[in-house]
Each structure stands twice: as structure tokens, then as C-alpha cells.
């Protein structure tokens, strides 16, 4: 087995350093663009809060509007909201339903409108569409 070695030389190392600097700058910029999520209800939610929201959303997909909250999740920040089924569209055996989800925490309100679909089979489950 023969192993070749590479020599970048001074110019190659400068190009590599410049590329690394550029990549670290762009990665930082991408992270900085998430600053809009600061102090929004989702920024206060922990994994157990999201699990509770997910269970409520699955109930609402059956067609019934409901209120939800994060009571019992252990989170010190109280989050409340509503989930309302909006429209349902059918395409053959496939049904798609959009929900209006509202979350409130620390005086801030945030809304989402996810869509989930399922096939017509008896064991079919709602699957969230990627948007």
C-alpha cells in the first residue's frame, strides 16, 4: 500500500485559512439569524412542553378545537394556547388538514399553521408535512 503525502505550501495554507475564516463567519451568521426566536413562546418551551403540544395537536387533528397548556411539564414558564382545525382537503383517499396553533408565554404570542396528512386506511396516522 502506498500513501502519498500532500504539501500545501504557503499559498495553500493561506487559502485554507481564508476558507476556514469564511466558513466560521457564515456559520455564526446563520446562528445569529435565529435571534428572532428570542423571547417567543417556543423559546421558553422544553421537550416535555413540546410533547404536550404534540399530543394536543393530534387530538385537534380529529376535528375539534381545544385549549392547551404546559401544566405538569415542570417548566417554570407558563405557556398556554389554542389549537383550531382550519380546512381539510381530500385528494382520493388522502386527507390533509391545516391547524392554527397559538402559543402565549410572558406576554408574547406566536402562531403556526402546520398541515398534516394521512391516507384513508384504518391504521393511518397523521404525518406533518415539511414546509
Q: What is the pLDDT of residues 97-114, one digit of tens each?
A: 999 999 999 999 999 999
CB 106 within 8 A of CB 44: yes
Q: How confident is the model at residue 96 (pLDDT cuts 50, 70, 90)?
A: very high
Query: Is 6 part of a structural domain of the chain?
Result: no
pLDDT tops 60 at residue 119 = yes
Distance, CA of 80 to CA of 69 (rounded, Å): 4
Query: How many structural domains comprise the chain?
Result: 1
Query: Is 115 part of a structural domain of the chain?
Result: yes
In terms of Cβ atoms closer than 10 Å to its own Cβ (0-12, 13-18, 19+), residue 57 is buried
Q: How confident is the model at residue 126 (pLDDT cuts 50, 70, 90)?
A: very high
Query: Is 63 part of a structural domain of the chain?
Result: yes
What's the domain range around 82? 41-128
Query: Is 5 part of a structural domain of the chain?
Result: no
Give strand pairing partners of 57.
none
Among the residue ranges 43-52, 71-80, 122-131, the one predicted with the least confidence is: 122-131
Query: Is 9 part of a structural domain of the chain?
Result: no
DSSP letters spanning 28-53: HHHHHGGGGGTTSHHHH--HHHHHHH
Query: Is 58 part of a structural domain of the chain?
Result: yes
Q: What is the pLDDT of residues 75-84, one digit of tens each?
A: 999 999 999 9
For residue 120, the model assigns a pLDDT of: 85
**8-state DSSP, 130:** P
Amino acid at each position: 500500500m502506498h500513501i502519498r503525502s500532500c504539501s500545501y505550501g504557503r499559498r495553500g495554507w493561506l487559502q485554507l485559512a481564508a476558507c476556514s475564516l469564511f466558513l466560521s463567519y457564515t456559520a455564526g451568521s446563520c446562528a445569529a439569524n435565529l435571534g428572532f426566536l428570542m423571547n417567543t413562546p417556543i423559546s421558553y418551551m422544553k421537550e416535555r412542553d413540546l410533547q404536550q403540544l404534540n399530543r394536543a395537536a393530534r387530538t385537534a387533528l380529529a376535528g375539534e378545537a381545544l385549549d392547551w397548556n404546559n401544566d405538569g411539564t415542570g417548566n417554570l414558564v407558563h405557556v398556554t394556547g389554542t389549537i383550531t382545525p382550519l380546512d381539510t382537503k381530500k385528494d382520493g383517499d388522502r386527507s390533509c388538514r391545516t391547524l392554527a396553533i397559538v402559543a402565549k408565554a410572558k406576554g408574547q404570542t406566536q402562531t403556526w399553521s402546520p398541515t398534516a396528512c394521512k391516507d384513508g386506511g384504518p391504521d393511518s396516522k397523521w404525518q406533518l408535512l415539511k414546509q
